[in-house]
Structure 1
Amino acid sequence: MTTVHTLESIARLPMAGDNTAIAIRRLEAGELVQLDGRAVPLSHTVLEGHRFAVQPIDAGELLLSWQLPFGAALRPIAPGDYVCNERTLKSLRSRSVAAELPDSANFADRAIDYAIDPATFQPAPPTAPVVPAPTFLGFRRGADRGCGTRNFIVLLGTSSATGSFVRALEARLKGAADAWPNIDGIVAAAHTEGSVPDANNRGHVLRTLAGFMVHANVGAVLAVDAGWEPVNNAVLRAFMAEHGYPVDAVPHAYLSLAGAWETALAEAEAIVRGWLPQVNAAERTPVSAAELKIALQCGGSDAFSGVSANPLIGWAAHRIVGYGGYANIAETPELIGAEPYMLARVRDLATAQRYLAIRDRFVAYAAAHGTSAEGNPSDGNKLRGLYNIILKSIGAAMKKHPQTRLDYAIDYSERMAAPGFYFMDSPGLDLESVAGQVAAGCTVIYFTTGNGSVTNFPFVPTIKVVTTTPRFQLLARDMDVNAGAYLDGTPMEALGESLVDLTLRVAAGERTAGERAGHAQVQIWRN
């Protein structure tokens, strides 16, 4: 007897009423699915994460996921038909994917132009408070810096010219903090920027370095330059003084390299070792979860990112904002097309207009470089079901819970001044985006991934959340949370409560998979 699958056993609708569903496993042409009371054959192979129609779609009609359009039908599409655009077909053919694929696309990318009408704009009420807020054991750094989740000594390469030095210094000091129980480690923060004259990203670099210097997870910081760079210690000090960064609240020193390498290493080592008793004097004490500042980030996304992992971290961030805390979503090009969702609940008209102005600025920036957001999804994204930037953006936007109000829109690395939910301008490259979120003050990073990206940050813990159970099982030692459990039937609320509990434990010192692995990367926005 031929098996007829229920829709729930082989696919997921991101939202009730969508006319396309996402396959949760590879489906072959001719397999039968129960739709509207009848057995419907699938027209072609539907790869895991790809979509097929669950309702009749007329030519010109919009294809919907999360009740938002991502394309328009080029011809009538019947229930059971695999839906695909030309870019995805081209990508699959270039990879010689073994599958029965259609000869041509049946939809073209389509988004709805979005603008705010000031005459009809309605501000949203605040995100609902959740009381009482729980506590975690954190490091109090004073009103200007907040509360840290870690206590690191940071070796900061002010420019790319000193990256190799701070890495060598980190290696030289390996184990030096082991005897000091309140110090989480001595880590290098090396990057590739700051050494080129008249660089477009000079402001980004200075704002990011300044944010690193005063970060709540930093117990002390040594900034190292060569002295000749356009971004050097003198320039950084002047920038921090001009913009009111509370660097005097942080044990810090500046070192300019001159003379012999070994001599400089010995001098730097002496500075750092001299800080150990002072940094160790900081102790964890109970602080409110309202002090948490969460970065919401993704990399190596797939079609399930917007169904399992991103909604999960959005749920947890909603709870933390409800406690009175902070959350920060970024990656401007990967939210283009999701404006109706992102701006459905906004604090005020100025914030909505600022969000759109940042979007428009990025569109112009990309155009000046001869590209556009439409080219963002990689071949890997397309293989995993993200046909276009619209689907990728809508899925990425699910990192904001539908009941969370967007409170602020800020520039890259701009410090978060008040509790609430933030959008921060950044590129789509996750390393560059994370650096900006850390500089803005984030003390814990939620990082969702479909393919298993293993990125970490040197002095902020990263909780990695995987979209599917098979991928989690493959990478269990490198990942922290299996959001694929939602696809397997676990309620989102149960997973959300578990993630909030894990966040409080990590904030109190429990090490993440990335911290146990012992590797990290830093990259500042290069534009």
Structure 2
Amino acid sequence: MQAHVRLDESDNVVTATRALESGSRIESVAVNGLVPAGHKVATVRIPTGEPVRKYAQVIGYAATDISPGDHVHMHNLEFRSVDQGYEFATNLRPVPQPERCDTFMGYRRDTGQTGTRNYIAILTSVNCSATAARMMATHFTPERLAAYPNVDGIVAFVHGTGCAMGGDGTGFEALQRVLWGYARNPNVGGVLMAGLGCEMMQIDWLIEAHGLKPGPTFRPMNIQDRGGLRKTVEAGIATIEEMLPLVNKARREECPASELMVALQCGGSDAWSGITANPAVGHACDLLVAQGGTGVLAETPEIYGAEHLLTARASDRRVGESLLDLIRWWEDYAERNRGSMDNNPSPGNKKGGLTTILEKSLGAAAKGGTTPLRGVYRYAEPITSKGFTFMDSPGYDPASVTGQIASGCNLVCFTTGRGSTAGYKPSPSMKVATNSEMYGRMEEDMDVNAGRILTGDASVEEVGREIYEMWLRMASGEMSKSEAQGLGDFEFVPWQIGAVM
């Protein structure tokens, strides 16, 4: 394996594939000092203030004069907002025709959607009902559920908000969409919604606003109306016991791959994310889109600096402008909270070789593949477009995936370079490792090793096909490694926007 990777001839930095000692040579340039694996090395002189390029794009500006062979990182590379020249619908590649129509074994729902799992969800309107919900869920041990083999489990989705928030603001509306979206997600066969009774997020309002209809598999209750915690827990357990035989009637049947909606995520990223795992997931997304399925990219702060690549792929100007509206909102959001769009990357990202949000975003956007961008959606808004789409969210993974599942995603694909182990019930989550070293260290948690791309043992397309085929198997019931270890009960984190009063 070469000691470095050059991503484009126009780049003035390359990425070290292994730790380099002072005096090592890269492209006839002597390295000046120790450079960790995954970090950048300048191959030409870059004067102060001049752009540093990787992926044939600007990832920052030289904070000091950078000499050939210098380690390029936080000490000499600075972030600046980049004035992009936006184009719309100028890079519309045709969606390839599939060689065959792929299928999976899923649960067809009355809503017309198709599930990959069959859970009963206990949703809480407010933090005050979280304990009651947990008590209900923990009652249903594997032994008690053994008689219901078609039910994947009882999950309590609890959160830390629902009150002391504005009743007509962005945050209130987002939480409503999350709760409604989980109640309607095709991986949920039955819902018990538990509240306190006096909270801002009134269950009756939610039912009325979103057309939810109480019935045998959708039951609401409040602690105050039921007469306290113990009585509520007992009533909730009895209600779920009534639901179980009904939810257990669901049977898997053959369904087209077009019914899959995959949340495309990355977390604990490193320098290899944009070189191995994310492009491989992008190829898998292209394969899914060719089948008529849907890929959902999110994390708006983590496309910042790469949004011009997505507007060029927008199916029309309206879609592209919708994406730019989100970028402008985030710039204002960061400014009014006295932050910076460059507050992301995290310390772990930087240790792995990423320096600025521009560099991170260029790699993160690769998860979206190459097909046209068909739609842009608010956080947790129902996604109705087929093909490659985008949903607004923060870069914080649990909050972002929560929104994607609320938007309808029935699978999650998560790339990681540092090593993330999270799961996201009710949708199974697979992990794609960006490098072989981490994969070997955390093999019990990683489903696919995209590090083979770096060593030349597999191509982006081969790993992408492997990822896509695992999506079909997971959709048919195969457990991912995180799912098999029981992860996914504690990663429900609705994005809390706005003032807490």
TM-score (norm 2): 0.93
Deviates more, 1:209-218 or 1:65-74: 65-74
Match of 1:23 among 9, 16, 27: 16
Counterpart contact for 2:148–2:248, Cα < 8 Å:
yes
Verify the 8 A CA contact 2:79 2:342 in the aligned structure 1. no
**Contact map agreement 2:391 2:404 (CA 8 A) in 1:** yes
Displacement of 1:55 after TM fit?
4.0
CA shift for structure 1 position 458: 2.0
Equivalent-residue separation in structure 2 for 1:67 and 1:404 (angstroms)? 20
Report whether the alignment pairs 1:182 with 2:150.
yes
- Structure 1, unpaired ranges of 5+: 1-7, 90-104
- The answer for the alignment partner of 2:222 in structure 1 is 256
CA distance in 1, matches of 2:72, 2:422: 33
Q: Deviation of residue 29 (structure 1)? A: 1.4
- In 1, the alpha carbon distance for the partners of 2:41 and 2:148 equals 57
The aligned counterpart of 2:373 is 406
Question: Using the alignment, how far apart are the partners of 2:479 and 2:124 within structure 1?
Answer: 25
Rounded Cα–Cα distance in structure 1 between residues aligned with 2:133 and 2:94: 44
Asked if 2 retains the 8 angstrom alpha-carbon contact of 1:22 and 1:50, the reply is yes
Verify: 1:436 aligned to 2:406, yes or no: no
| SS at 1:422 equivalent | strand
Q: Which residue of 1 aligns with 2:71?
A: 82
Matched residue SS, 1:179: coil
Q: Which runs of 5+ in 2 are unaligned?
A: none
Alignment-derived partner of residue 442 in structure 2: 475
**AA matched with 1:219:** G
Cα distance change, pair 14–232 in 1 and its aligned pair in 2 (3 A): farther
Deviates more, 1:40-49 or 1:147-156: 40-49
Q: Is 1:69–1:110's contact at 8 Å kept on the other side of the alignment?
A: no
Residue 68 of structure 1 corresponds to which residue in structure 2? 57
| Shift in alpha-carbon separation, 1:391–1:125, aligned structure 2, 3 A | closer
Q: 1:248 to 1:496 in 2, by over 3 A?
A: farther
Aligned with residue 184 of structure 2, among 214, 224, 233: 214
Contact 2:375 2:385 in 1 (8 A): no
The match for 1:450 among 396, 401, 417 is: 417
Q: Is the 8 A contact 1:137 1:284 kept in 2?
A: yes
The reply to whether residue 47 of structure 1 matches residue 36 of structure 2 is yes
SS of equivalent residue, structure 1 residue 398: helix
Residue equivalent to 2:199: 229
Where does residue 93 of structure 1 map in the other structure? none
CA contact (8 A) 1:123 1:347 kept: no
Query: Does 2:175 match 1:205?
Result: yes
Identity %: 34
Contact 2:119–2:155 (8 Å) recurs in 1: yes
Q: For the residues of structure 1 that align with 2:282 and 2:132, how far apart are their CA atoms?
A: 39
The answer to which of 60-69 and 404-413 deviates more is: 60-69
CA distance in 1, matches of 2:287, 2:81: 31
Is the contact made by 2:107 and 2:117 (CA closer than 8 Å) also made in structure 1? yes
CA deviations on 1:412-432 (whole Å, 9 max, x unpaired) are 001011211111111111111
CA distance in 1, matches of 2:298, 2:107: 26
Aligned with 1:399: secondary structure? helix
Asked if the contact 2:314/2:372 (under 8 Å) is kept, the reply is: yes
Q: Once superposed, what is the RMSD of the aligned Cα atoms?
A: 2.0
- Contact 1:449–1:464 (CA<8 Å) still a contact in 2? yes
The offset of 1:291, in angstroms, is 0.6
Distance 1:425 1:234, change over 3 A: same
Is 2:84 the partner of 1:114? yes
Aligned pair partner of 2:285 in 305, 314, 317? 317
Change (3 A) 1:421 1:43: same
Deviates more, 1:258-267 or 1:429-438: 258-267
> 1:99-110 to 2 correspondence within 5 Å?
105=76, 107-110=77-80
Partner Cα distance (1:126, 1:162) in 2: 49
Change over 3 Å in CA distance of 1:516–1:117 after alignment to 2: closer
SS of the residue aligned with 1:235? Answer: helix
Change (3 A) 1:59 1:260: closer
- Residue 301 of structure 1 pairs with residue 269 of structure 2: yes
Moved more, 372-381 or 329-338: 372-381
Are the structure 2 counterparts of residues 223 and 70 from structure 1 closer, same or farther at C-alpha, using a change threshold of 3 Å?
Answer: same
Offset, 1:115: 4.4
Question: Corresponding residue for 1:268?
Answer: 236
Q: Report if the CA contact (8 A) 1:55-1:78 is conserved.
A: yes
Q: Aligned AA for 2:354?
A: L
Read off the aligned partner of 2:210 and give its amino acid letter: M
What residue is the counterpart of 2:360 in the other structure? 392
* 1:111 CA drift (Å): 5.2
Q: Is the 8 A contact 1:153 1:185 kept in 2?
A: yes
Q: TM-score, normalised by structure 1?
A: 0.89
Alignment-derived partner of residue 347 in structure 1: 315
Q: CA deviation at 1:498?
A: 1.0
2:162 and 2:367 mapped to 1: Cα distance?
32
Question: CA 1:183–1:44 in 2, change beyond 3 Å: closer, same or farther?
Answer: same
How far apart, in 2, do the equivalents of 1:174 and 1:374 lie?
45
Counterpart pick for 2:333 among 342, 362, 365: 365
Corresponding letter in the other structure for 1:11: H
Which position in structure 1 is the counterpart of 2:466?
A: 498
The superposition leaves residues 195-222 of structure 1 with CA deviations (integer Å, 9 ceiling, x where unpaired) of: 2242651010001100000110001010
Alignment counterpart, residue 508 of structure 1, candidates 463, 476, 480:
476
**1:437 aligned counterpart, secondary structure:** helix
Pair 227,436 (structure 1): closer, same or farther in 2 beyond 3 Å: same
Q: How many residue pairs end up in the alignment?
A: 489
1:220-267 CA distances to partner (integer Å, 9 max, x unpaired)? 0101001111002112112212xxx6x579821011113243322221
Out of 378, 388, 398, the position equivalent to 1:421 is 388
Hey, what does 2:254 align to over in structure 1?
286
Corresponding letter in the other structure for 2:221:
L
Runs of 4+ in 1 over 6 A off after TM superposition: none
Identify which of structures 1 and 2 has the higher relative contact order when contacts are C-alpha pairs closer than 8 Å and 6+ apart.
2
- Name the CA distance, whole Å, in 1 between partners of 2:96 and 2:485: 37
1:523 to 472, 477, 493: 493
> SS at 2:190's partner residue?
strand
Q: What is the aligned partner in structure 2 of residue 94 from structure 1?
A: none
What aligned pairs does 1:167-178 form with structure 2 within 5 A after superposition?
167-175=134-142, 176-178=144-146
Aligned-pair distance for 1:110? 4.3
**Does the Cα contact within 8 Å between 1:295 and 1:437 map onto a contact in 2?**
yes
